[in-house]
Amino acid sequence: MRTLCAIALLSYLAAAPAAAKDLYVAQDGTAPFRTIQDAVAALPDNSPERTTVYIGSGTYQGPIVLPESKRNVTFLGQNTKTTVITYGFGAKDRFPRGQSDIYNGACVVVLANGFRAEKLTFCNTAVDRGAAPALRIEADRAMIRHCRVLGLQDTLVVNKGRMYFRDCYVEGQIDCISGSATVVFELCTIHSKDGGYITASATPRGQRFGFVFLRCRLSGVGESAYLGRPGGLYSNVVFLNCVMGSHIEPHGWDDSGDLDSVDTAYYGEYNSTGPGANRTKRVMWSRQLSRRDAQEITVFAVLRGSDGWDPDKIPYEGGQAW
């Protein structure tokens, strides 16, 4: 078995672009690094060029942090379902000394601009232990493609900057996706586990966009799930051309008792289909967007910023994953 794994990894590495700066991780010792964090420590600081960390199939233990100085880094897994980074802690757990302020229960923490991930699973297995993110990003121009993000509470925390998720699967229950960043989810599946809230956006005042879902699929099991609730006074979430399952609560949105947020939140929908998209019982303080408004909400329009960032034009590094 070890020989077969080694052959598979060598074939994978042989197919990867050759570059001296790129790093390789494999648990079985067939690559220079056995752990992802060791590879992170070896990354150059403040590099203007991209460095790729190739990660062989296996289950890697978190927590892992990508410091602010390790910018322009790609984590590229060998296979979305077999290259897994996992952790089992939540915010209510007792952390080793000095660790809670850094990780706060998160499996993977990204603090560096220009981060990309492809063909990976991020998983936090903690249950009933408070917020337990599988992935927390506090950085600009992050791009996650063909990845799975699995957890229960605050599965994906996206704070600060602009981010793009495409062809991803995100699973959770309580505030599944939360934070204050500007984020586009395109062609993603968001799966609700027994109710809860898909989003808890904390968009800052004056920020035009919060969470934007384009052509996504909302699936779920068990209790009804809300599209979102406020994570702050200026919560901003829109769903456009999505497919919504029958698990979506007919009212769509919840104020969680914070009546002040109702006047300042921006919750919009446009042209979604499926039983959960029925708008007849939506709360009065949400809105159905006009065609003209919806046409102005594109990946580039939401994420371009002053530098003209357009993730749609950035090619995949690992090809199609699943």
pLDDT at 199 over 90: yes
The pLDDT value given to residue 229: 96
Name the CA radius of gyration of the chain, rounded.
20
- Computed over every residue of the chain, the mean pLDDT equals 90
The pLDDT value given to residue 238: 98
For residues 129-135, give the mean pLDDT.
Answer: 91
pLDDT at 185 over 90: yes
For residues 97-120, give the mean pLDDT.
Answer: 83
Q: Is 169 exposed, middle or buried (0-12, 13-18, 19+ CB in 10 A)?
A: buried
For residues 285-296, give the mean pLDDT.
Answer: 96
Q: What is the DSSP string of 235-252?
A: -EEEEES-EE-TTB-TT-
The pLDDT value given to residue 81: 94
pLDDT at 8 over 70: no
pLDDT at 13 over 60: no
pLDDT at 281 over 60: yes
Please report the sign of the dihedral spanned by the C-alpha atoms of residue 268, residue 271, residue 274, residue 278.
positive
The pLDDT value given to residue 3: 46
- pLDDT above 70: percentage of residues in the chain: 89
Q: Which CATH class is domain 58-310?
A: mainly beta
Residues contacting residue 239 through CB under 8 Å, at least 6 positions apart: 213, 216, 227, 268, 269, 270, 272
pLDDT at 320 over 50: no
CA distance 264 to 261: 5
Strand order in the sheet with 121-124: 58-61, 83-87, 121-124, 148-150, 169-172, 189-193, 217-221, 243-244
Task: Name residue 171's beta-bridge partners.
Answer: 150, 191
Q: pLDDT per residue over 17-76, tens digit each? A: 444 489 999 988 899 999 999 999 999 999 999 999 999 999 999 999 999 999 999 999
Contact 203, 210 (CB under 8 A): yes
pLDDT at 102 over 80: no
Please tell me the pTM assigned to this model: 0.91
Active site members: 154, 175
* Range of weakest confidence among 83-97, 129-143, 147-161, 220-234: 83-97
pLDDT at 182 over 60: yes
The pLDDT value given to residue 192: 98
The pLDDT value given to residue 99: 57
The residue among 51, 55, 53, 54 whose CA lies nearest residue 72 is 51
- pLDDT above 90: percentage of residues in the chain: 80
CA distance 311 to 51: 17
The pLDDT value given to residue 31: 93
The pLDDT value given to residue 319: 60
* Range of weakest confidence among 73-87, 143-157, 257-271, 283-297: 257-271
pLDDT at 9 over 70: no
Domain ranges of the chain: 58-310
The pLDDT value given to residue 98: 56
The pLDDT value given to residue 97: 59
For residues 243-250, give the mean pLDDT.
Answer: 98
> What does DSSP assign to residue 209?
-
